A and B are shown apart, each in its own frame.
Chain A
Amino acid sequence: MDSAFIPEGAKRCSTPVFFFWTIPWVMLLAFGGFSAALCLIFGLNQTHMSDVFAFALWIVFDLAVIALGAGAFFTGFLTYIIKKDELKDIINAAVIIGFICYSGAMGLLAIDIGQPLRNWFFFWHANVHSMLVEVSFCISCYLSVLLIEYIPIIFENRKLDEVKDFHFFGHHLHHIMAIFAATGTFLSFFHQGSLGGMFGVMYIRPFVARWGFYIWPWTFFLFILSAIAAGPCFTILCTKLTEALSKKKLVPDNTIQLLAKISGGLLTLYLILKILDTYAWVNGILPQAGQGLSDFGSYTTMMLTFEIGVFGIIPMLLLITPFTRKSNFWLIIACLMNCTGIVLNRYIVIIGSAALPVMPFDKLWTYMPTWQEWGIALGMIGYGFLIFSLSYRYLPVFPKEKELNSF
């Protein structure tokens, strides 16, 4: 039925099968839309956020998907600036995943603020001292860059490519993609960092406060490193999932291996710095504030152990060891654990800083999201599956697909 739109030579499932595949994701998206409408009409009282949990599930989701979407800018940087040509086979997928993550995060943020119609105040009344201004500026600009990177892929659709203007526009955009990749890299470095900086600068919250370099606390650099270590793994995971569902090989092994190797190297560097940072925090910042790690309870220590030990060191070892990296099973386990580790890191930073009291007579706070909060978060997952499914079906996302599947 829609065969005219499917990339030439590519095999896709029948239209009815694809239709049924999209139903759950459309339903999730609709659920998210309904939850968002409730929040926009009746206000944020629809959530279980509070004056204590000012940042909650949505911010955890935001920071997590933005970190996981870092594969887009980092792969772009490696492909167009460092000239790692093997990565051209996966760059389209990375860009689409990045676009999904960033656009979804922006949508979430628009609902998360109390006065969505004042979103332009971030730019109009910008406070240059605020890390959130840096985040807003860079994410908005980078989303535009991602759109510019995504448009040529859309124009490569068989039918759209027949339109001469689209063809030329897409073709010429391809030629100057290095400029956008460089711009994207610059913007992404700053917003990934300032997301970490947002928490590090809160010097009156000893749980997240960090010293740093110039105006940037160490969390600034740790967030950049952790994002570029986990982002490529998320790109690999999405690719592997697409391969499993379509029962096809889509990306050459050397491309995946290169990405996994780089990810492993960066994860090693990140973990060394993260362990040093944790040591300095426990022995410097906390005693200065009159606190010790034991004040945060065994749950916090356990979570930190899980984050650094289980979901940090284990995937690092799996990724840097050639034997495990080359095994499909261990590679997927390593990528899953690496991505879990970064989500856990963002969760601990955000929820921990809110839940743990600073005033001695304050108490430990707890929080459970409402179904509306889950609805919007799940809606974002539905949105992601839908966009990626549509892109895979109708666009030449994987350039080597035809070659790898010709018998």
Chain B
Amino acid sequence: MEKTETHHGHKYGMVIDLDKCTGCGTCMVACASENNVTVRSDETDKERSITWMKLYKIDNGKPFPETEVCYFPRPCMHCDEDGHGGHHSPCVSVCPATATKLDHNTGIVSQIYTRCVGCRYCQAACPYHARYFNWWDGYSFLQPYSEGMERALSPEVSPRMRGVVEKCTFCHHRLMSAKNRAYAEDRRELEEGEYITACTEACPAQAITFGDLSNHDHEVYKLSKSDRAFRLLERLNSKPKVYYLSSKEWVKKFADNYTPDQIQPATKKEI
């Protein structure tokens, strides 16, 4: 077989089953560890704490014993472009230095740290708060508290410097590794499950499924077509590649905004 790189227009995406999620936070820890996310001795300032995968806790607002709680893991949504001459991904089109790109072969929205100027326009444009700025030096001699921590760094992922924006990359380095393995084995295509993100792998409840949303044989494709499936802020047309599953109507209503005449949102009436 000829060893040439082929592009088949994959669209990698994620489906998170909120009915299964227990809110244990393993996905957050696995993500941070895998991707060399910096840790400071004081992480109490949650507006400046870096969490590529963030867990939101929501409830139906009803008093005990009718209280129901749901955990909402939120990675980067890897928003797609409209494709009909309409919108670009919200963050990609605004970046002045082309430091963030939507790869049409994978659907992954990347972040080029060495090109980012730190203007933070992409952060202003992202309504999911999925982008994080490095307010401090991470693993650097300038930060004494990080001494020795460099030994825990993964060599697969570049650490980020102060003053640049970072975000979930769908563990892009894992895609590279999987492709390298396939190349060495004379394969042109990746098998399902050969490339999955760290959070998918770590989730003890198997609430996260990862795969190619454009491949009808992949589990993510089937799950994304489920009656339980919905996306976050879908009506704003940002076309996220992260789907959620829930059997609860009040959870689904939490995913978007509604005016009183459109639907009675559980969030506003019941809280």
* Chain A residues within 8 Å of B, Cβ to Cβ: 43-45, 49-55, 112-115, 118-119, 121-122, 124-127, 129-133, 136, 198, 201-206, 286-292, 295, 353-354, 358-362, 365
Beta-carbon nearest neighbor of A358 in chain B: B127
**Interface majority SS (helix, strand, loop, mixed), chain A:** loop
Cβ of A43 and Cβ of B117 under 8 Å apart? no
Beta-carbon nearest neighbor of B126 in chain A: A204
List, in ascending order, chain A residues with CB within 8 A of B56's CB. Answer: 361
Cβ of A43 and Cβ of B119 under 8 Å apart? no
Cβ of B97 and Cβ of A203 under 8 Å apart? no
Cβ of A198 and Cβ of B121 under 8 Å apart? yes
Residue among B48, B95, B120, B232 with max Cβ neighbours from chain A (10 Å):
B120
Q: Known contacts being A45-B135, A127-B96, is A290 close to B115, with CB within 8 Å?
A: no
List, in ascending order, chain B residues with CB within 8 A of A133's CB. Answer: 96
Cβ of B90 and Cβ of A113 under 8 Å apart? no
List, in ascending order, chain B residues with CB within 8 A of A51's CB. Answer: 47-48, 123, 129, 131-133
- Show 18 residue pairs from A and B whose CB-CB distance is below 8 angstroms, ordered by the A residue: A53-B47, A114-B116, A114-B133, A122-B96, A127-B93, A130-B94, A130-B121, A132-B94, A201-B94, A202-B94, A203-B87, A205-B124, A286-B259, A287-B259, A288-B235, A289-B257, A360-B257, A361-B267
B256 within 8 A of A: yes
B177 within 8 A of A: no
Instruction: Give the docked Cα–Cα distance between A291 and B95 (Å).
Output: 27
Cβ of B121 and Cβ of A50 under 8 Å apart? no
Q: Known contacts being A114-B118, A114-B133, is A204 close to B48, with CB within 8 Å?
A: no
17 additional A-B residue pairs with CB within 8 Å, beyond A51-B131, A55-B120, A205-B125: A51-B123, A51-B129, A51-B132, A113-B117, A113-B163, A118-B118, A119-B117, A125-B98, A127-B98, A132-B121, A204-B233, A289-B236, A354-B124, A359-B232, A359-B233, A360-B254, A361-B72
Chain B 54-72 per-residue mask, 1 if CB under 8 angstroms from chain A, else 0: 0010100000000000001
* Chain B residues within 8 Å of A, Cβ to Cβ: 45, 47-48, 56, 58, 72, 87-88, 90, 93-99, 115-121, 123-129, 131-137, 161-165, 232-233, 235-238, 253-260, 262, 265, 267
Cβ of A54 and Cβ of B162 under 8 Å apart? no
Instruction: Give the docked Cα–Cα distance between A171 and B110 (Å).
Output: 53
A-B CB proximity, top 7 nearest: A114-B118, A114-B163, A290-B257, A50-B47, A358-B127, A54-B120, A54-B123
**Interface majority SS (helix, strand, loop, mixed), chain B:** loop
Cβ of A43 and Cβ of B236 under 8 Å apart? no
Cβ of A132 and Cβ of B58 under 8 Å apart? no
Beta-carbon nearest neighbor of B134 in chain A: A114
Cβ of A114 and Cβ of B164 under 8 Å apart? yes
Nearest chain B CB to A351 CB, angstrom units? 11
Residue among B99, B132, B236, B255 with max Cβ neighbours from chain A (10 Å):
B236
Instruction: Give the docked Cα–Cα distance between A171 and B207 (Å).
Output: 75
Q: Known contacts being A289-B257, A358-B233, is A122 close to B162, with CB within 8 Å?
A: no
List, in ascending order, chain B residues with CB within 8 A of A124's CB. Answer: 97
Nearest chain A CB to B166 CB, angstrom units? 11
List, in ascending order, chain B residues with CB within 8 A of A286's CB. Answer: 259
Nearest chain A CB to B30 CB, angstrom units? 21
Cβ of B128 and Cβ of A202 under 8 Å apart? no
List, in ascending order, chain A residues with CB within 8 A of B232's CB. Answer: 359
Beta-carbon nearest neighbor of B136 in chain A: A45
Nearest chain A CB to B256 CB, angstrom units? 6
Q: With contacts defined as CB atoms under 8 Å apart, how many contacts are there between chain A and chain B in the complex? A: 166
Nearest chain B CB to A353 CB, angstrom units? 7
Nearest chain B CB to A163 CB, angstrom units? 41
Nearest chain B CB to A180 CB, angstrom units? 26
Cβ of A291 and Cβ of B134 under 8 Å apart? no
List, in ascending order, chain A residues with CB within 8 A of B93's CB. Answer: 127, 129-130, 201
Instruction: Give the docked Cα–Cα distance between A45 and B72 (Å).
Output: 29
Q: Known contacts being A114-B116, A115-B117, A121-B117, is A127 close to B95, with CB within 8 Å?
A: yes
Nearest chain A CB to B76 CB, angstrom units? 13
Instruction: Give the docked Cα–Cα distance between A286 and B260 (Å).
Output: 12
Q: Known contacts being A44-B135, A136-B96, A290-B256, is A122 close to B117, with CB within 8 Å?
A: yes
List, in ascending order, chain A residues with CB within 8 A of B165's CB. Answer: 114
List, in ascending order, chain B residues with CB within 8 A of A52's CB. Answer: 47, 129
List, in ascending order, chain A residues with CB within 8 A of B128's CB. Answer: 359
Cβ of A361 and Cβ of B164 under 8 Å apart? no
Residue among A49, A115, A121, A132 with max Cβ neighbours from chain B (10 Å):
A115
Instruction: Give the docked Cα–Cα distance between A33 and B45 (Å).
Output: 27
List, in ascending order, chain A residues with CB within 8 A of B90's CB. Answer: 202-204
Cβ of B133 and Cβ of A291 under 8 Å apart? no
Cβ of B119 and Cβ of A132 under 8 Å apart? yes
Cβ of B97 and Cβ of A360 under 8 Å apart? no
List, in ascending order, chain B residues with CB within 8 A of A131's CB. Answer: 94
Residue among B48, B56, B124, B161 with max Cβ neighbours from chain A (10 Å):
B124
Instruction: Give the docked Cα–Cα distance between A171 and B166 (Å).
Output: 52
Instruction: Give the docked Cα–Cα distance between A186 and B204 (Å).
Output: 60
List, in ascending order, chain B residues with CB within 8 A of A358's CB. Answer: 127, 233, 236, 257
Residue among A133, A295, A361 with max Cβ neighbours from chain B (10 Å):
A361
Nearest chain A CB to B97 CB, angstrom units? 4
Q: Known contacts being A204-B238, A361-B56, is A43 close to B47, with CB within 8 Å?
A: no
